[in-house]
Structure 1
Amino acid sequence: MLRSSTSRLLSTRLIQRPVVMSARTQSTLDTGEVIQDPQIGDYPNLPRYSSQSRGPFGWDDPQDKRNFGEAVHEEDEIMGVWAPDLHTYSPFKAIAQLTLFAGLFTAFAGLVYTSYPERPAVKRTYPNDGLKESLGYREGDIRPRGARPDDSE
């Protein structure tokens, strides 16, 4: 009993299918290939087309982009509309767009920095070294007692 369940476990389609690592420019979920699956039985073996690549109109169920009576893909959790998004653009385009955004943001920040006006009023000054004597300053205080003691301008 244990031996037969172990051999069934080892002969699953995940172990039989070789893992191929390759560079790709789009998602592998929308290739249209039909994967032969001996465990599928009488269920229709549908091609790998994601529901996200379907058009938005003309469906009985527009939320899931499916018609009434249409067979659901065996891997509907990764082929349906609610699966992670399909990305059909190259990573270089994404990097270019991020670089463009960073450049525009930096240019805008530089423009604001260079065109920021000066203060319209004279900065306030205090007599007696920032009113230290009037506010009770003592030598060795941890927190200095004075009006704006850290102003360096």
Structure 2
Amino acid sequence: MSAEFHLLLVEDSSPDVLILRRALADVGFRHRLTVLSDGGSAMAYLDRLSVPSCSPDLIPDLVLLDLNLPGPSGSQILARLKSDPLLRAIPVVVMTTSSRDEDVWRSYQAGANTFIQKPGDFQRFRELAASFRRYWEETAIRPPRRPPVGDR
């Protein structure tokens, strides 16, 4: 990985935040984690990112997004992300308790890159963190945090 991996977690469950932090650390995933616990905070953060002069260091490499949030929903946040030309390339993984076909369908239709049902225990969170680490450190090429000069 060329630069520090910035993970944005939009999650209102403190226990889920703690278990994910522990799982990521346990598998050695080198990252910087920004946690936003409600839809309003997430929308305000996206507003800051959508300004062309925003520091690229604030832009996440991956968003983990819960659908069920206080304030604007995860679906609204996803729609906001994917409608912004400066932000739409950021990969979004919807990670929620739901496995309803409607939620899966709507998330992919809105531009989610992946839909995952939240793991039910630490071992499964750890396995998920390990797969994230392998994929993002060894397989995927991350999009630039800002479009190349010719594409602005």
What TM-score results when the alignment is normalised by the length of structure 2?
A: 0.22
Whose helix proportion is higher, 1 or 2?
A: 2
Whose strand proportion is higher, 1 or 2?
A: 2
Structure of higher CA gyration radius: 1
What TM-score results when the alignment is normalised by the length of structure 1?
A: 0.22
